[in-house]
Amino acid sequence: MKEEICRKGLLQSFWGRSGWSLADAAVPFLLQPFRILESALLSLAFGLTVLTMAYAVGGVSGGHFNPAVSVGLAVAGRFPVGRLVPYIVVQVIGAIAAAALLYLVASGKAGFELGGFASNGYGEHSPGGYSLTSALVIEVALTLVFLIVILGSTHGRAPAGFAPLAIGLALTLIHLISIPVTNTSVNPARSTGQALFVGGWALQQLWLFWLAPIAGGALGGLVWKLLDKDD
């Protein structure tokens, strides 16, 4: 029993410290050449959106807005595998509808140009010019961390009522870290909605923003099973 507690403690310390170290180093380094206030406001907008929607509809749908999260929860044994496909289909449709609404509003401004439409990209389409490898690593790593936050904050032993707050703040931090690298995906549905309107390069690079978040979500689910394993 003591050995099991020690093992869990060591694993939790490792992942907790790794996450904080990543944030401590990445935020000032990656944001250095960017307009920090603009990135901070964008990050906060994403975080607050998830926070409020999780409180609003979390009790009905479980707060699933992201295919990578749904996959991670299924891997962790917290969501039925048989429901994955319909949930992911609805998530993608919702993301496309949101992108269409955003386009409708934005295009009403005089001199509107579609540009990248906040699409995710790497190489020459990365906001900071980061490579495919950099994009892959950051998306896998941050989605993994996001899943651990979600699974930990919604655990039966976690303080009640605070999960949406923890999840929203985590997503804010994730955006602060990765906006300069990929424009932040961590959500394949969101990436798909934007890419469909941009077309061209955005659709060509979309595969990465399905592969990396789904892989990160699945790894997050596996790591959580290891952390929460009861022998």
The confidence band for 12, taking pLDDT boundaries of 50, 70 and 90, is: very low
Contact present, 212 and 121 (Cβ < 8 Å): no
Domain 2-227 carries which CATH code?
A: 1.20.1080.10
Q: Angle of helix 208-227 relative to helix 67-75, nearest 10 degrees?
A: 30
Structure tokens at 206: 């979309």
Task: Quick: pLDDT tens for 115-133.
Answer: 767 889 999 999 889 999 9
Would you say residue 108 has pLDDT above 50? yes
What pLDDT, on the 0 to 100 scale, is given for residue 168? 82
Q: Six-digit token pair at 222? A: 């596996």
pTM: 0.78
| Segment 28-34 mean pLDDT | 46
Categorize the per-residue pLDDT at 227 as very low, low, confident or very high, splitting at 50, 70 and 90: confident
- Cα 154 to the center of its chain, rounded Å: 16
**pLDDT of 10 strictly over 50:** no
Q: Where are the domains positioned within the chain?
A: 2-227
pLDDT at 17 over 90: no
Whether residue 84 is predicted with pLDDT greater than 90 in this model: the reply is yes
Within 8 A by CB and 6+ apart from 205, the residues are: 120, 121, 122, 125, 195
Query: Above 80 in pLDDT, residue 114?
Result: no
Alpha-helix runs per DSSP H in the chain? 2-31, 36-61, 67-75, 84-106, 132-153, 163-182, 188-198, 201-204, 208-227
